[in-house]
Amino acid sequence: MLSLEKRSRQLVGKVAAQAASRERLPSGLWFHDDIRDNFYYASYLHAASLDPDIRVRFDREQAKATAEQVLGLVLELQDRREGSETYGHWPLALGEDPKQASPHPLPVELMGSLMLYFAERSGETLPEDLRTAFEVALKAVYDSRFYDKPLREYGHHEAKYTAAKLLFGSFYGDDELLEDGRRSLKALLARVRDRGMHEYGSQPWFWHWVQAFACARLLLDDADITADLNSMLDYLWSERSLHYIGGAWAGPHARGLSADAPKDGNVGFDYLQYGDFRLPPQLVRAEYAGFLFYEAPEEARIAAMDRLVPVEVKKKVLKPLEDGSDRELHSYTYLTDAYAAGGMWERSEEFDNEQHRWDVTLPLSYELGSSVNQAYFIHPGEGYGEGDLRHESPYTRILPDRSVVMALYPVPEGQDPGIVGVLPKGEWIRDEQALFGLVGGVYLAVFLRYGYEADEQEDRVSVRSTGASNAVVIEAASVEEAESLDIEDLEGFAELMRERAPIFGEGGGSASYRSLHSRRLELAVSEDGTTLARIDGQAVGFGDYLV
């Protein structure tokens, strides 16, 4: 494994190379879809141009000049209109003419703090006019008071507001703002310790928590605040480590972007922290991962990278509702060194309908190449598009148990009952209603109630199956686990699993299966819509399952 210093330089150099090779648009920027990416790319390119220990294939002086030009263009797009409700803000999507783009509340939330970090760490290397431009922009951010909001949802927005209060309060000697940030930090810390994070497994939001508080930790020296920031970051990385498997994020997700499913692509933060997998050829959403490092607690880091003894992670998530009450959600994830399986018992309405209920996850450390590393099925719901399996309907009931996930799809009459799925590339045997695969040292058995169509694509096997009250059962087994069952190859695995095929109820709505762990699993949906689940004949409810 490379040292932390080498991993950091490797990450910075890789993003810088992507920036250097990307053609700029007529506006002088690289991106018009998200202004923040211009700031991030420019930061990496600037850092790499000045670091002689980062091997580059571009002209350093030209790269530095390009980075400074882009930084200047980004700063110019800030709203500086006196009296404007969006004073100090930047547009998000820039459109065809960035100068005409409307300011948006999101970019400043994180980018404002990271700009302060950049100015503090790199300001001396900038030409005087750009240093002055940063000073003007940061003062406008401070004066905007965008962060001056109370804690209500205790989510990623408030995390970024809190970090900004601390950073700008300290930087501008605003003791009242600094104290407000101190109180907010303590309240946020108490909240997550008491109730957990309702933004469970949401990479884009989770990493904003990490970046905001790591940024504050690296720039502030107040002992009391630093202690709380350490505690917050320890908590965040301990939570991350619970669902870590070889560069991947196992278990259910409140939301995800296309970089998160069906392949874990947002890996910059994990690479710097754990370093037990190879960086992909292209990095996506690296944001400030290469600059903001905080070492996770040793015991959490070691546990995350040592899955020789399988673990079951059971979590109760308290999701706040608009009426002030809470809804309990219950997640289950089974992790080994070769694979992870699990999901969220209940469906929840999440942002952009992006709750990812369940999957089998393979570690990126198995070097799957361009292949996806997740296997799962959904009944398409609001927001679904061809090839985008992040949006599913409410019509799914699941029973996750160790290496198995069972899923029923009681789609109401009058709606298309077809389900779609994704499987990693590998060696596959296709039966009429089942698929058996060997992927990256893991065997997968996939059983469906009905027949299916499978389309092998560049990075995945896409599966479609239709029929009323469809159902899927997936089980994973490592090569070592299979060998203990006297299985030597995929043919042998398929032969064994055919004998263990699940029994699907004739009228639909039920499935039973005996797993390779010799556990008898039963899942059914009653006529009144109640989910019935049993393990070895014992009825289990959501709360019972967590005991």
Q: 143, 165, 194: which is the final residue of a domain?
A: 143
Q: Does position 546 have pLDDT exceeding 80, yes or no?
A: no
- How large is the average pLDDT for residues 376-393? 94
Return the pLDDT at 279: 94
Q: With 90 as the cut, is the pLDDT of residue 144 above it?
A: yes
Residue 181 lies in a domain: no
With beta carbons less than 8 A apart as the criterion, state whether 213 and 232 touch: yes
Span 10-37, mean pLDDT? 98
Give the list of residues 6+ apart from residue 27 with CB closer than 8 angstroms, or none. 73, 94, 97, 98
- What pLDDT band is residue 544 in, cutting at 50, 70 and 90? low
pLDDT at position 55? 94
pLDDT at 543: 55
Asked whether residue 413 carries a pLDDT value surpassing 50, the answer given is yes
Domain boundary among 143, 164, 198: 143
The domain boundary, picked from 143, 161, 195, lies at 143
State how far the Cα of 11 lies from the Cα of 292, in Å rounded to an integer.
12
pLDDT of residue 547 exceeding 50, the answer is no
* In-domain check, residue 534: yes
Number of domains in the chain: 2
204 within domain boundaries: no
Task: Report phi then psi at 446, rounded to 5.
Answer: -125, 115
Task: Give a yes or no: residue 192 inside a domain.
Answer: no
Q: For residues 405 and 343, is the Cβ–Cβ distance under 8 A? A: yes
Q: What is the DSSP string of 179-248?
A: HHHHHHHHHHHHHHHHH--SSTT-HHHHHHHHHHHHHHHHH---HHHHHHHHHHHHHHHHHHHHTEETTE
Domain assignment present for residue 104? The answer is: yes
Q: Give pLDDT tens digits for 475-515.
A: 999 999 999 999 999 999 999 999 999 999 987 899 999 99
Q: What is the pLDDT of residues 430-467, one digit of tens each?
A: 999 999 999 999 999 999 999 999 999 999 999 999 99
31: in domain = yes
120 by DSSP, 3-state: which?
A: helix
With a CB cutoff of 8 Å and minimum separation 6, the contacts of 253 are 200, 201, 202, 203, 260, 261, 354, 355, 356
Q: Is the pLDDT of residue 62 over 70?
A: yes
Give me the percent of the chain exceeding a pLDDT of 70. Answer: 99
CB atoms inside a 10 Å sphere around CB 173: 8
Q: What's the mean pLDDT in 292-308?
A: 96
pLDDT digits (tens, 9 = 90+) for 63-122: 999 999 999 999 999 999 999 999 999 999 999 999 999 999 999 999 999 999 999 999
User: What is the domain extent for residue 53?
Assistant: 1-143
Q: Are strands 404-409 and 434-439 parallel, antiparallel or unpaired?
A: unpaired
Q: Residues 119-134: pLDDT tens digits?
A: 999 999 999 999 999 9
The reply to whether 85 falls in a domain is yes
Q: Rounded mean pLDDT of 17-28?
A: 98
Query: Which pLDDT belongs to residue 366?
Result: 84
Please check whether residue 194 lies inside any domain of the structure. no
Phi-psi label, residue 176: left if phi above 0, alpha if psi -120 to 50, beta otherwise:
alpha
> Which pTM was predicted?
0.96
Please give the distance of CA 508 from its chain centroid, rounded to a whole number: 34
